[in-house]
Amino acid sequence: MDRTPREPQTYMEAMRAPQAAVSTLTATAIVVADMIGVGVFTSLGFQVTDISSGFTLLLLWLVGGVVALCGAFCYAELATMFPRSSGEYNFLTRMYGPSFGFMAGWLSATVGFSAPVALAGMAFGQYGKGILPGMPPVLLGLAVIGIVTAVHLRGARHSSVLQVTSTLLKLALIVAFVGVGFISGEGQPISFAPHGFDITQLLSSSFAVSLVFVMYAYTGWNAATYIVGELTDPQRSLPRALFVGTGVVIVLYIALNAVFLYTTPITALSGQVDVALIAGRHIFGESGSRLVGALICIGLIPTIGAMMWIGPRVTVAMGEDTPMLGLFARHSRRGVPTAAILLQCLIASLLLLTQSFEAVLDFIQFSLTFCSFLTVLGLVKLRITRPDLPRPYRTWGYPITPMIFLSVTLLMMIHLVGVRPLQSIGGFLLMLVGFLLYGIAQRRARREARRSPPV
């Protein structure tokens, strides 16, 4: 028996269903926090090894932001058409069938969110040991994951307070860092105005390769779609959260990279991972690295909070549709999906202890990118095959915006296959495991249906 999802079929039906009260501000904070992790503080060192133009480097981050915004336009249409929390699990189920949705949910519920949480926890520990010397980074990472999990287990109100306040603090610290950098930093001989030779760099393979890593830094622009079913007014709140959140991050990413380049010699940045720490020393002196380390630690708390909030929503939806996973669909008296949250916390903690999460991230990059590609491709498919479906929000710039996203995402997958063939093949096999598990779950459901006496 092939079970169909239980969510409402249309937006109007969803509006008649009970909704949890998650505000637009909270949803926007989740988008911003999920996007701004450690990527923007580390990527520039690898980009300046092949690209020396300030204009080209900033344009790189603008182009990446535009692509992310194109994805947000597409996801906003799908999420308001099918407003059920769980992101790609919901979308792919609707567009291609339950087996594709289960595959995407399998990736998200196991390592898709847990590995980035572990990475953020480890980064918290690495930067935190500069503030608390002698503390093991792993212990600090486990502590921050555990504390954030405990807050989420107390209910949506506590989660919202943590998410909004920590994200606003994060934004304030970044703005302060940028402002002080431009005011107090020693200006470097770099120009952000376009020059003739920039065309050559824009068309180079180095620009294309750098764009791949910039897009990874923008990952998280679709975060609000994982909680769309909890928004009070998804027709308005969801698009606003995606667009405002992504727009804010674009501005901050360009500003941060501009201040890095303005205050720090390119030779000091080239090939380095700890770009923000190096820039901090040039701005604030020897104590600068500790200040920037504290900034990054504070900023990682809402990042972990966002992923610990939205990731379990996928597991909840899978539990609602698959009897074998029914445990994860249960909620506490406070409306908290306790089992789903604890599962993600457990997986993230184990990855952190084994220190294998970076290998896992390499392993799943192709799969997660492929799911995003399928989702936007499904938007085009539905426009052709189901033009009758109600669309409370229609993708701005269609069909150009989805084509931009699909083209860049396809280039990213080709790059991943070329640079990391074994990891990409492994990611593809992980997707096949998802299909296999779906088949097993359905076979078990059919057996139980045959055993059950007719009502």
DSSP of 167-219, one letter per residue? Answer: HHHHHHHHHHHHHHHHHHS---S---S--TTHHHHHTSHHHHHHHHHHHHHTT
Distance, CA of 226 to chain centre: 10
pLDDT, position 452: 67
Domain presence at residue 453: no
Domain presence at residue 450: no
pLDDT, position 42: 86
Cis peptide before 453 (omega within 30 of 0): no
Q: Is 235 exposed, middle or buried (0-12, 13-18, 19+ CB in 10 A)?
A: middle
| Whether pLDDT at 58 is above 80 | yes
User: How many Å apart are CA 249 and CA 251, to the nearest integer?
Assistant: 5
For 69-105, b where at least 16 C-beta lie within 10 A, e where not — what string?
A: bbbbbbbbbbbbbbbbbbbbbbbbbbbbebbbbbbbb
| Whether pLDDT at 12 is above 60 | no
For 381-437, what is each residue's pLDDT tens digit?
A: 999 999 999 999 999 999 999 999 999 999 888 888 888 899 889 889 999 999 999
Domain presence at residue 9: no
For 306-322, what is each residue's pLDDT tens digit?
A: 999 999 999 999 999 99
Distance, CA of 8 to chain centre: 25
> CB-hemisphere CA count at 13 Å for 33?
33
Quickly list DSSP for 371-431. HHHHHHHHHHHHHHH-TTS--SS--TTTTHHHHHHHHHHHHHHHHHHHH-HHHHHHHHHHH
pLDDT, position 20: 55
Q: What is the number of domains present in the chain?
A: 1
Which residue type, as a one-letter code, is found at position 57?
Answer: L
Location of structure tokens 């980074």: 137
Instruction: Give phi and psi for 231, each to the nearest 5.
Output: -80, 145
What does DSSP assign to residue 4? P
pLDDT, position 334: 87
User: How many Å apart are CA 77 and CA 81, to the nearest integer?
Assistant: 6
For 29-55, what is each residue's pLDDT tens digit?
A: 999 999 998 889 988 988 888 888 899
Domain presence at residue 321: yes
Location of structure tokens 């057996």: 447
Q: Which two tokens stand for residue 24?
A: 């637009």
For 64-105, what is each residue's pLDDT tens digit?
A: 999 999 999 999 999 999 999 999 999 999 999 999 999 999
Q: Which two tokens stand for residue 138?
A: 């792993």
- pTM value? 0.91
Q: What percentage of the chain has pLDDT greater than the value 70?
A: 94
User: How many Å apart are CA 367 and CA 431, to the nearest integer?
Assistant: 7
Other CB atoms within 10 Å distance of the CB of residue 448: 12
Domain presence at residue 12: no
159 and 305 Cβ atoms separated by less than 8 Å: yes
For 255-307, what is each residue's pLDDT tens digit?
A: 999 999 999 999 999 988 889 989 999 998 878 888 888 999 999 999 999 99
Query: Would you say the C-alpha torsion 293, 252, 25, 84 has a positive or negative sign?
Result: negative
Domain presence at residue 417: yes
Domain presence at residue 224: yes
The CATH number for 285's domain is 1.20.1740.10
For residue 335, the enclosing domain spans 20-443
125 and 293 Cβ atoms separated by less than 8 Å: no
| Whether pLDDT at 332 is above 70 | yes
325-332's contacts with Cβ under 8 Å and 24+ in sequence apart are 325/441, 332/153
Domain presence at residue 378: yes
242 and 72 Cβ atoms separated by less than 8 Å: yes
